[in-house]
Structure 1
Amino acid sequence: MANKWAGAAPGGVLDARPFTQEAFAAFGDVVAPGDQSRRVNDGRALRYDGVARLEHDACAADPVLALYAVSASPKPFAIDLLERHPLASQTFVPIRLAEPYLVVVAPSGADGEPSVDRAEAFAAPPDVGVHYAPGVWHMPMAAFGADALFAMWMWEAGDGRDTEERRLPVALRVRGW
């Protein structure tokens, strides 16, 4: 059987792009303050609503808020695993983060597997979060420079349908970040 990822990014290398809502829209949302806000907390705070489109299948009925303590990884970083959550969107918001973090995503191919030849990489600033739409293949969270802490929010069914993982036969590398 031919390697379906043989045509991946040239040499398995992706160029990191700026993490903007426009560039990332096909995969989810950039979680950051927007244009619309309202004063709350006796006028001491601005509340920004609608920073992500939280979505879930009815069978993913349990809301989950978790903390991810991520050990620092060295650069360059080889990406050999992608995962997705077919039943719900997933949001990560940095709580403690020393450097920008890496967001690598890939759409699904016609067979439902990651379309690595259409993978994209983004350098996310440490003061914004990432919201993955349901079913978007993405690399697991990684931290660089120092250990990090992220808050994670998603809906779960509590069984094997919540997360799917795929090992890549050829690791991806990201340059320019």
Structure 2
Amino acid sequence: MGLVDDSRVTVLLGGFLLSLLALVGVTALGAFAVLSAFLDPAAGTPLLVALLQTAAPFVAVAAMLGVVSLVLLVGLAVAVVRSASVPRDARLARLARTVERYYPGARSLGLSEKFEPTTEDRIDQLKQRYVEGEITELEYEQRLQELMSDDDVSDDRVRRERERTDRQRDREFEL
């Protein structure tokens, strides 16, 4: 599911943009009001008091809209991060382990485990390398057997992969 398909992201983005637009509008109206009060001050009131009386409501509304915009922006950032998929890559996992080694506080985040590719991911990568011709069938079979001996690969996946490679071998013998 993409970010655009996530309704939370869409609602938060729309709310943030609308609050930002309202903030710009209120600020512009306040600037015009202050400018008009500066050009035509009320009779008998000092200029500074007239400017402050004119600007006060606009400053209060702008501050509230600023807080709302900030809250929506933080919510949007959190929603985007939560809905974004975490890439699983051995290099990223190594980098995360290095960071965890030098910064003990980073260990509590468990980044290295989040980035570590699963056996299923490794099988998919192996299959892709075989399909692209980077490795031979023998290498593919050997590495596949090594990966399938891991505990976290499902029995279903092992059976499907073996059936697929057997069918492929049978087709090659027929040719």
Q: TM-score range by the shorter chain?
A: under 0.3
Q: TM-score, normalised by structure 1?
A: 0.22
Give the structure with the larger helix fraction: 2
Greater C-alpha radius of gyration: 2
Give the structure with the larger strand fraction: 1
